[in-house]
Amino acid sequence: MSDNGKTFMDADRAIQRDFVKSLNECSADIIQKYAPQGINWHYIPPSTPHMGGLWESADKSFKIHLKKTAASHKFTFEEFTTLLVPIEAVLNSKPLSAISQDTAALTALTPGHFIRGAPLMAIPEPNAIDLSLTNRWEKIKILRHEFSRRWKEEYLKDLQKRYKWKNPQRDPQPGGEYV
């Protein structure tokens, strides 16, 4: 499920092409097992970002917090990349759901699992308060820490549990009571 971006449509065509190509190279039993499943890529209608739901709200959150922390700075490509890569890791470490039903397991499924196949882990860095602004690297680290702090304060605390569609409900019956 994605929006109608050109890169998503190109990726869909490439995946479909590669899927058919790989089926031609597989044995008959694999084709019989996996070919009927196919790959279905669904698009939201054009110009309807409100239908993007959670992924669009994550994009909005990123843009707002990046503008608040780094809008007044000018970066080289390398500096901007150095700033964005850890921010990307933070956003892709957001828990989506539990991996197992075991209450003792603390690992959650994150977008990083779909990107790397494992959670994204970062080595903790020293607190940004103790750093000076004399060096561009330290300045970028401070901005990254500021982004992370603001994201924790403003986004994570505002997350709500979404109860809609979580519990099965019976449809109303003609002449009966809805419970």
Give the separation between CA 17 and CA 148, rounded to whole angstroms. 40
Question: Of 69, 50, 88, whose CA–CA distance to 128 is shortest?
Answer: 69
Cβ-proximal residues to 40 (8 Å cutoff; 6+ apart), any chain:
none
Q: Is the pTM of this model over 0.85?
A: no
Question: Of 94, 86, 152, whose CA–CA distance to 125 is shortest?
Answer: 86
Q: Which tokens is 123 given?
A: 């080595």
Residues 94 and 120 sit within 8 Å (Cβ to Cβ)? no
Task: Count the Cβ atoms, other than its own, within 10 Å of residue 60.
Answer: 13
Please list the pLDDT of the chain residue by residue as tens digits (179 residues).
788 888 888 988 898 888 888 878 877 777 777 777 777 788 888 877 778 777 777 788 788 888 888 888 888 898 888 888 888 887 888 777 777 777 666 677 788 887 777 777 655 555 655 655 567 777 788 888 888 887 777 776 666 655 555 666 677 778 766 55
